Amino acid sequence: MSVEPRQVPTVPYGELVPVTVHFDDLDALGMLHNSRYPLLVERAWAEYWHGRGFRFDGDWVAAGDMCNVIKEMRLSYERPVTRPGRYAAHLWVERLGRTGLTYGFRLCSADGAQTHAQGHRVLVRVDARTLRPTPWSDHARAVAADLLRPAAVEAEREAEREAEAERDAA
């Protein structure tokens, strides 16, 4: 007997990462507990970055880009998850700055058609020794750039053109 790999539908931008809701994730009303939504998204992001070579093995100095902190998080609950099963986290990048990264997400049906919750989170890359903001590596920037939402890509290009014009004027 062979096992077929799970097919993940595509989305117009970003990536769908499969997540699983278990029975014990549900609250007394039979709905996914509100604290589990961001946890599922966090696990999906960890899987995404780990799959691209980023790791944390207990040493913050060696962690590089994985040494980051959350500056802001917003989450809006749209429709309850009322049963265990397979779902997906739709992940994308809204803004890629020098030391900050804003990503968007949706917890959705496995095919991406129904949104259960959506939001964004702002991360800041920090130096492990000083805990001060520090630039993302070129590798992290390249991986994050692959997830830029199309409107965000144009905004990033415009910001680069403005920065270049300011440098030329100086």
Sequential pLDDT tens for the chain (170 residues): 555 555 656 788 999 999 999 999 999 999 999 999 999 999 999 999 999 999 989 999 999 999 999 999 999 999 999 999 999 999 999 999 999 999 999 999 999 999 999 999 999 999 999 999 999 999 999 999 999 998 766 666 677 777 777 778 77
**Distance separating alpha carbons of residues 153 and 95, to the nearest angstrom:** 8
3-state SS assignment for residue 13:
coil
* Reported pTM: 0.83
> What value, to the nearest 5°, has the Cα angle with vertex 99 and ends 93 and 103?
15
Contact 35, 24 (CB under 8 A): no
